[in-house]
Amino acid sequence: MATIHPTAIVDAGSRIADDAIIGPYSVVGADVTLGPGVELMSHVVVGGHTTIGRGTKVFPFASLGLIPQDLKYRSEPSRLVIGEGNTIREHVTMSPGTSGGGMVTEVGNHCLFMVGVHVAHDCRIADRVIMVNNATLGGHVTVDEHAILGGLSAVHQFVRIGRYAMVGGMSGVEQDVIPFGTVTGDRASLRGLNLVGLDRHGFDKDDINKLRRAYRLLFADEGTLWERMTDVEDEFEGCQPIDLILRFMRTKSSRGLCQPRDGHAS
C-alpha cells in the first residue's frame, strides 16, 4: 500500500501505485495517476488529468497539471503525461494541453527540471532533457532528446529545439534551433555546434569533423539556404548526424530557423 503522510490530501478517485510515496501537505486530485516508485516529497500539488511515470521524484512546492495559463482554455479534459525517472525540483510548474494543441503536454523519461522551470501547455519534451533553473517554455514548444536549456532562458511559443542542442543561459529563443546547435543572446542567434555535448555523448570524431564542415557550408554567405542544404546533402550523404540536421531544417515550421549573426558560421 502506498505511503501517504496523514497531512496529505489524496482524492479517492486517484490511482496510486502501491509503492508510491506522498509526503506532508501534498495534494493529489481525482484524475491523477502516480506510477510505481513515484515520490512527492512534500507540499506538492498534482491536479487535472495527470499521469506521472515510474520512479519520478517531485520536490516541494511543484505544481503539476493545474489549468494552463492560456485564456483560450475552456476546461477541456486535456492531459499532462510525465514519463519515468524524471527529477522535478522545487517550484517547477507544468501545464496540461489544450484543444488547440492536441490536448496533451508530454514529458519523456530521465529528464531534469531544476528549480523554477516552467513547461507550458501542449509542449513536447523528449528523453534526457535538462532545463536549468527558471528556464521557461512557451506553449507548443518541442524539445528533442538530450537538449540542454540554460538558466533563465525563455523559448517562444511553437519553437523547436533540436536534439543535443544547447541554449545558453538568459537567452531568448524566438526561432528553431538545429540539432547539435548552440544558441545564445538576448534574442538568440546560432553560435556554432555543441562540441562539448557531442564529445560527452561519445560521437565519432570523424562525424564531428564532418558536422563542423557541414555547418560552415550550411551557414556560408554564398547561395540560398536551400542550395547550400542540397550541396551538404550531396557531399555528406549517409552521415547520420548531418541527415538529422537536414531533416530538421526541411520540416515545416511557423517560427523560422535560428541562424548565425556577426560571423559565427564557424
Reading the block at residue 42, the C-alpha cell is 512534500
Q: Is residue 81 within 8 Å of 64, Cβ to Cβ?
A: no
Sequence-ordered list of residues with C-beta below 8 angstroms from that of 30, at least 6 positions apart, any chain: 11, 12, 13, 14
Q: Is residue 259 within 8 Å of 182, Cβ to Cβ?
A: no
* Alpha-carbon torsion, ordered 53, 104, 187, 133, to 10 deg: -30
- Coil/strand/helix, residue 32: strand
- Known catalytic residue: 122? yes
- Candidate list 122, 168, 176, 192, residue with the active-site label: 122
Edge-first strand order for the sheet with 9-10 is: 9-10, 27-28, 45-46, 63-64, 93-94, 118-119, 136-137, 154-155, 172-173
From CA 166, how far away is CA 171, in angstroms rounded? 11
- Known catalytic residue: 139? yes
- Candidate list 118, 121, 140, 146, residue with the active-site label: 121
- Candidate list 23, 139, 150, 197, residue with the active-site label: 139
Helices (H) and strands (E) in the chain, counts: 4, 28
Nearest to residue 67, comparing CAs of 58, 76, 59? 76
Query: Which backbone phi and psi does 7 adopt, to 5 degrees?
Result: -85, -10
Q: Is residue 241 within 8 Å of 178, Cβ to Cβ?
A: no
- Known catalytic residue: 43? no
Question: What are the catalytic residues?
Answer: 121-122, 139
